[in-house]
Amino acid sequence: MKKKVISIISIVLVCVFLFSGCGGPATTGVQGKKEEVQAYAGKEGRITAYISGPDQMLKDIEEGFEETHGDVLDVLAMGCGPLAQKVNAEAEAGNVQADVIWGAEPIVYIELQSKGILQQYVSPEAAALKKEYAVGDGFYTLCNARYGVIVYNRERIADSEVPVSWQQLAGENWKDRLVIADAGQSAMALALVAGLVQMEECGWPYLQALKDNGVMLTQQNNQAIEKVAAGEVDAAIVPHDGVLRLIKKDKKAGIDSKLAIAWPKEGALSVQRPIAIIANESRPEVNTKLCREFVDFVISPAGQKIAAKYGFISVRNDQSLPAGVPKDVKGVSIDWNNAVEEAGELRNEFDKIMTSK
Amino acid sequence: MKLRKGKERSQGPLFISGPVILIVLGLVLYPLLMLFLFSLGINLHDPNITGAYYLQALSDIKTMVALKNTLYVAGGVTAAAILLGGGLAWLVARTDIPYKRLIEIIVFLTFTIPSYILAVAWIQLLGRNGFINRLLYEKWQFIAEPLDIYSLEGIILVMALHSFPLVFMALVSALKMNDKTLEMAARLAGAGRIKALFTVTLPLMLPNILSVGLLIFQQTMACFGVAAVIGLPTSNYVLTTRIYSAMSRLDLPSAASTSMILLLCSGVVFCLYNYSLRSKRYINISSQSRKAEPVSLGSWKMPVLISVFLLLSVTTIIPLGSVVATSFLKSWGLSLRFENMTINNYLTIFSGQTIAFRAFFNSITFAFIAATVTAIMGTIISYLSTRTTIKGRKHLEFVATWPVTVPGTVLAVAAVLAWINAPLRIYGTPWILIITYIVACLPFGVRNINGLLQGMDPLLEDAARVSGASWLRTFKDITLPLIAPGIKAGWITAFLLVLREIPISILLYSAGAETIGVLLYSMRSDTGGLETVSAVAVILIVLIVAGNVLIGKFGKPRKEATNDPS
Amino acid sequence: MIQAEIANLSKKYGKEIVINDLGLKINKGEILAVVGPSGCGKTTLLQIIAGLTGAEKGSVVLAGRTLLSVERNISVLPEKRKIAMVFQNYALWPHYNVWQNISYALRVRGVEKSKCEKIVKETMEMVRLEGKQKRYPHELSGGEQQRVALARALVIRPDLLLFDESLSNLDAKMKEKMQREIKKIQQELRLTIVHVTHDQHEAMGMADRIAVMNKGRIEQVGAVEEVYKYPVTQFVAGFIGTANFISESLDDLTESKLWRRAVRAAENKNKNEFRNKENLLSVRPEDVIIKSGKGEIIGTVAKATYRGNAIDYEIIAGKRVLYVQTDTRNLYELGAEVSIDIVRAVTIKDN
């Protein structure tokens, strides 16, 4: 037994030394990273985009872009979480395979920017962006917005009971009726929590009140919606676009959807989906041009119309709201830089409140 | 019947050990090593070795609570799965209970349900206003408090129901091969039926039970899906949910170091396993094997049969029924009335807008390759580990079974780190999926075969050698037919695991190499809704059952000759 | 003529020495029984001969062919040795029927089908298994399984046939019957057999010669009668048959008298050996004569066991128990005083 333990330890140690030896050149590689030419994974004249979003939307986007450019775009569809994790893992290995990434939340992009893997690009289309969305210095561009709202089950909540404000959910009559996604598990959930905490009317006491009200957690936002649809709980705080798509689907199936959205009067939490070009020195010029044109396309009226079809809010000042979003909707911006700075604190505090008895 | 201690065997297979060791080191150890380096903080951005992430993880009370929960859940699941799976296996393999084939099929079906779907089905039954709670608590007032599925015990329940088929499959094949004369001898010597079970059968089966128990324990530690669905709502964290949390905040080193804690636990358990087997090596495949004299249940037959089917209806039929029903719903959450039913969900899947056809084709291809490689490598590794005296053979077995403790997401990230850079660049091709599937399935292959080989009398092989058969001939004529049930079980397990695999798929797939996992995930995370996901699951289950029937049909004559006493 | 020779054989498992510089010659056409207590290394010896395990030192030569020579780095694979073996639990292959089990060695060797069938048929007749070829091992009785194992070993007409405790699973009657049959077949085919067993009766019943093994060494080899009559060590004397060990005692008068009596009755091949006063003597129970009434050495009957053809007594003489066997003509009651005489003894080596 003892012999076995010793031999396992020694194997591990030998391996560590071997690899730390290999780590040597890599170390110098980091300082000289700018000079080092990173291998380009793709082919000339063809770019790869990692995108999160409904499959059908990605198909429409790809078709729309390729209409003018020909068959030049490979889209790898994935959820927001996997998108961030995949890009991050590739970045850690020093070789991001994507040319463009689109989806997830600004928090992720600020993190990736700090790792130095995003390439600056200010699209000419950016001039048409609404003021509140024209942020950052071009390492990423906000290209759609989603609203954090309250989704509720119409069969379990009478019209008179429909919440009109965030504050209402902290009330006693909402005990054991609410679900939100875990800020420790999903970046989108973290964004929503950041928004609620930053909101003057809410802050941490609000989340504590939700906890006291027996709020349930899920790993992802769509699971929270599932729970509302199943009638297990009555309402959830989630991004609006997924709910709109489900309502649309129900309508198509000829049934009256159980789901409905309540738009809080303090304002819906505006969480944007950015797009960014990955930095890669060895990318051929023609590919860089394609990347930029793809970003332009996504922000262009054509691209924005496609996204609006799937419930996303346009960032442009010349576009109308998607069907199902009230005209007078009030969006509350979240201070992303603050959210990123406080991210650790946010997660810890959230965890502390939610695990308290 | 004990094996001679330290018996040194004539060795033929040394020539294959080299490549296999290399493959295991390359496919399994190398990615895990990359992960280990990250956990030490060695990466491109901050190449200084530091134990900070470990200190941070270990000093964090959250990690400790999660570790405690993980061990509690893993222990509970292992015990429950062994009781349930082992009991059923004994009934099927050793008694005259009727409808054996049906029981086997139903248990098998349980394993085909994706764990996420199973968890959701159970929430419908045991959730706050779940069916069972309404019945037991509100209507009959049978219990003082509503049952709460959102607890550690709830995780244990769902995961045990999900893993007991593994125990069942492993133990049925072993019990059928077991030396029944010993049990009969004990009966003749005056031990009652039950006493014979406890004094002879159980101790004889110990290697198999421990082998599959170890697997369940390790696998449970690594399970994320159920733990997230059942544990998170009331903030019951296990290590995997903590790991996923670190992943989602893009903190790879913390995720890696917490994974290392999991791996360490797994290593300790493996050592305990080996230690407990050290003094207890029993032979249960020998000449006297397969004396088909089933224990007669007598007047107990009907009550036992009824309770078995009641049990199976709870473990399988009801959840499965709920999946099938959901797949026909117009919208998740609607009540089960005829006007709410539609076949549109199935039509949508194959409407041509989705990747469904390609996903099914890819998954089945990958699963076939991965399962076959797994079965071959599992056989060789088990053989080296139990039949040779090569130095480090136990380490080889250990390394090969290690990945079972690594959550799929982490395994996928390790694969990214390992296979993205030249000259080992297979990232971005379908091969990275296949390789990672193999790594994830290998433990199941090794465990399934190892138990059987450990219980097989080496004299049977010696007899063949003395009769003039070369090592290879002996392996082909004697060893292989006798461990065939284990190889088959390993193959099927691997095949099913790949088909319903999600986390590895979504992180490693490339354009054109979409899999069922990718399909399930994308259906779930956007417009599809749970009803479409259920439809995909139903198609998957139908395919698996059809495949199993086909295998059963064409594989029958061979099977007749190798096992199946009934 | 020597069929097989084993020389200087040594084998260790870890630090434990299992075979210790062992030498053994096996004559052609004989049955040599290797007996010894469990753990003495006899099974390991068989496995080395069969090539199933290696050795640290020594050589094995069979029919003029070197099968193993550690020094010359020769080790013939088990399948190339033309040795057959009958295992303790028979090791029949459960997935093969009787015919497949028996014919396996021939099929592996690529023997022509018609010839193969002829040999298998012959062999099955020889071991009287006619009509059972379609049965599977688990459908056979213990005796039948034994016959299949034997037939499986016989089909290749091996240069050397090894029995590893092969009869120990059978009941006494069956065992005797099998012994006779094996002996008959052995003579018919002129086989050379090494039969390993822990049962001295089994060994004496079948073997031409006996090798007594202890702690990895052969202590004595010889014809059955020779080993019984002239054991060279205390171990052999005690293991083959029953023996009373007598040595000179200074504080026990009876013992001293017994010893002197035994020395006088000592009958050794090598007379020099018993000059040594420290010598130990072995006296077989049947070589102790007891009579009722007074005599030079007196004992008391403590236990009597009726054996049918003989009676075993335990006699207390002085401080020791003496094992005595007499015919059934003279019966002594428990507690009866008897006079003791020793008619035959051998000096042996102290272990």
End-to-end CA distance of chain A: 43
Chain B positions touching C91 (Cβ under 8 A) are 286-287, 457, 459-460, 462-463
Handedness of CA A200, A202, A203, A205 (dihedral sign): positive
Q: Give the best residue of C75, C108, C163, C169 to mutate against chain B (max B CB count within 10 A).
A: C108
Q: Give the best residue of C76, C82, C93 to mutate against chain B (max B CB count within 10 A).
A: C93
Interface of B with A in 488-517 (CB under 8 A): 506-507, 509-511
Pair A167, A262 in one domain: yes
Structure confidence at residue A67 (pLDDT): 93
Half-sphere exposure of B481 (CA within 13 A, CB side): 20
Is A319 within the bounds of a domain?
Answer: yes
Distance CA A343, CA A338 (A): 8
Handedness of CA C244, C249, C253, C258 (dihedral sign): positive
Asked if B530's CB is within 8 angstroms of A226's CB, the reply is: yes
Contacts of B235 (CB under 8 A, 6+ apart): A217, A354, A355
Most distant CA atoms of chain A, gap in Å: 73
- DSSP string spanning B178-227? S-HHHHHHHHHTT--HHHHIIIIIHHHHHHHHHHHHHHHHHHHHH--HHI
Structure confidence at residue A22 (pLDDT): 40
- Of B359, B506, B261, the closest CA to residue A85 belongs to B506
Contacts of B59 (CB under 8 A, 6+ apart): none
Is A72 within the bounds of a domain?
Answer: yes
Those residues of chain B that have pLDDT short of 70 are 1-15, 43-49, 129, 177-197, 199-200, 278-294, 352-354, 422, 525-528, 552-566
Chain B positions touching A78 (Cβ under 8 A) are 506-507, 521-522
Half-sphere exposure of B150 (CA within 13 A, CB side): 18
Chain B positions touching A215 (Cβ under 8 A) are none
Three-state DSSP state, C75: strand
pLDDT in tens, C193-247: 999 988 888 888 889 999 999 989 999 999 988 999 888 888 999 898 889 998 8
Is B6 within the bounds of a domain?
Answer: no
Instruction: State both tokens at A239.
Output: 């991004």
Distance CA A340, CA A111 (A): 8
Contacts of B545 (CB under 8 A, 6+ apart): B105, B109, B112
In chain B, whose CA is at the least distance from the CA of A356?
A: B235
- The domain spanning residue A262 has which CATH number? 3.40.190.10
Residue B463 touches chain C, beta carbons under 8 Å = yes
The domains located in chain C, with CATH, are: 2-239 (3.40.50.300), 244-348 (2.40.50.140)
For residue B467, give the nearest of C88, C108, C137 by CB distance.
Answer: C108
Residue A343 touches chain B, beta carbons under 8 Å = yes
Pair A276, A266 in one domain: no
Chain B positions touching C90 (Cβ under 8 A) are 287
Distance from the Cα of C234 to chain B's closest Cα (Å) equals 28
Pair A156, A292 in one domain: no
Is A25 within the bounds of a domain?
Answer: no
Distance from the Cα of A125 to chain B's closest Cα (Å) equals 28
Chains A and B touch (3+ CB pairs under 8 A): yes
Pair A116, A200 in one domain: no
Kindly report the backbone phi and psi dihedral angles of residue C9, in degrees, each rounded to the nearest multiple of 5, phi listed first: -80, 130
Those residues of chain A that have pLDDT short of 50 are 1-2, 5-6, 13-37
Chain A positions touching B409 (Cβ under 8 A) are 85
What are A101's strand-pairing partners?
A: A50, A276
Pair A257, A158 in one domain: yes
| Amino acid identity, position A138 | G
Q: Which residues of C touch B (CB under 8 A)?
A: 13-14, 43, 47, 50-54, 77-81, 83-85, 87-95, 104-105, 108-109, 136-138, 145, 152, 156
Instruction: State both tokens at A346.
Output: 């946010």
Is A208 within the bounds of a domain?
Answer: yes
Contacts of C48 (CB under 8 A, 6+ apart): C9, C11, C19, C54, C55, C60, C68
Three-state DSSP state, B397: helix
Counting the structural domains of chain A, the total is 2
Interface of B with C in 261-290 (CB under 8 A): 285-290
Asked if A245's CB is within 8 angstroms of B233's CB, the reply is: no
Q: Select the more confidently predicted residue: B299 or C102.
A: C102
- Of A185, A176, A181, the closest CA to residue A215 belongs to A176
What are A76's strand-pairing partners?
A: A50
Most distant CA atoms of chain C, gap in Å: 78
Is A287 within the bounds of a domain?
Answer: yes
Distance CA B128, CA B234 (A): 12
For residue C53, give the nearest of B9, B477, B561 by CB distance.
Answer: B9
- The domain spanning residue B162 has which CATH number? 1.10.3720.10
Distance from the Cα of B563 to chain C's closest Cα (Å) equals 8
Chain A positions touching B234 (Cβ under 8 A) are 216-217
- Of A201, A118, A131, the closest CA to residue A166 belongs to A201
Instruction: State both tokens at A167.
Output: 């504050």
Q: What is the CA radius of gyration of chain A?
A: 23
Contacts of C122 (CB under 8 A, 6+ apart): none
Pair A119, A63 in one domain: yes
Question: Do residues C218 and C22 touch, judged by C-beta distance below 8 A?
Answer: yes
Asked if C51's CB is within 8 angstroms of B286's CB, the reply is: no
Chain B positions touching A9 (Cβ under 8 A) are none
Distance of CA C60 to the CA centre of its chain: 20
Distance CA C262, CA C345 (A): 6
Is A21 within the bounds of a domain?
Answer: no
Chain B positions touching A89 (Cβ under 8 A) are 252, 412-413, 416-417, 507
Three-state DSSP state, A46: coil
Q: Give the best residue of B466, B474, B475, B564 to mutate against chain C (max C CB count within 10 A).
A: B466
Q: What is the CA radius of gyration of chain C?
A: 24
The reply to whether ipTM tops 0.90 is no
Question: Do residues C104 and B464 touch, judged by C-beta distance below 8 A?
Answer: yes
Pair A155, A211 in one domain: yes
Q: Select the more confidently predicted residue: C265 or A181.
A: A181
Structure confidence at residue B559 (pLDDT): 35
Is B307 within the bounds of a domain?
Answer: no
Cis peptide before B423 (omega within 30 of 0): yes
Pair A295, A243 in one domain: no
CB atoms < 10 A from the CB of C297, how many?
21
**Which residue bears the tokens 């066991």?**
C305
Subunits adjacent to chain B (3 or more Cβ pairs under 8 Å): A, C
Asked if A257's CB is within 8 angstroms of B331's CB, the reply is: yes
Domain ranges, residue B256: 14-283+313-562
Interface of A with B in 265-304 (CB under 8 A): none
Reduced DSSP (H G I as helix, E B as strand, rest coil) percent helix, strand, coil of chain C, to 5: 30, 35, 35
Chain C positions touching B466 (Cβ under 8 A) are 50-52, 78-79, 81, 83-85
Is B333 within the bounds of a domain?
Answer: yes
Residue B471 touches chain A, beta carbons under 8 Å = no
Domain ranges, residue A130: 47-144+271-326
Question: Do residues B440 and B501 touch, judged by C-beta distance below 8 A?
Answer: yes
Distance CA B453, CA B479 (A): 8
Is B353 within the bounds of a domain?
Answer: yes
Question: Do residues B506 and B517 touch, judged by C-beta distance below 8 A?
Answer: yes
| Amino acid identity, position B500 | R
CB atoms < 10 A from the CB of A287, how many?
21
- DSSP string spanning A143-186? EEEEEEEEEEETTTS-GGG---STGGGGSGGGTT-EEEE-TTT-
Is A130 within the bounds of a domain?
Answer: yes
Asked if B459's CB is within 8 angstroms of C91's CB, the reply is: yes
Provide the b/e sequence for A89-101 (b: ≥16 CB within 10 Å).
bbbbbbbbbbbbb
Question: Do residues B24 and B392 touch, judged by C-beta distance below 8 A?
Answer: no
Is B306 within the bounds of a domain?
Answer: no
Structure confidence at residue B9 (pLDDT): 44
Counting the structural domains of chain B, the total is 1
Structure confidence at residue B431 (pLDDT): 92
Asked if C137's CB is within 8 angstroms of B6's CB, the reply is: no
DSSP H helical ranges for B354-479: 356-387, 393-401, 408-419, 430-454, 458-466, 471-474
Is B293 within the bounds of a domain?
Answer: no
DSSP code, position B477: I
Pair A140, A167 in one domain: no
Chain B positions touching A310 (Cβ under 8 A) are 527
- Of A96, A93, A111, A118, the closest CA to residue A26 belongs to A93
Distance CA B161, CA B316 (A): 8
Pair A282, A308 in one domain: yes
Distance from the Cα of C235 to chain B's closest Cα (Å) equals 25
What are C312's strand-pairing partners?
A: C305, C325
Is B223 within the bounds of a domain?
Answer: yes
Is B289 within the bounds of a domain?
Answer: no
Is A16 within the bounds of a domain?
Answer: no
Structure confidence at residue B286 (pLDDT): 61
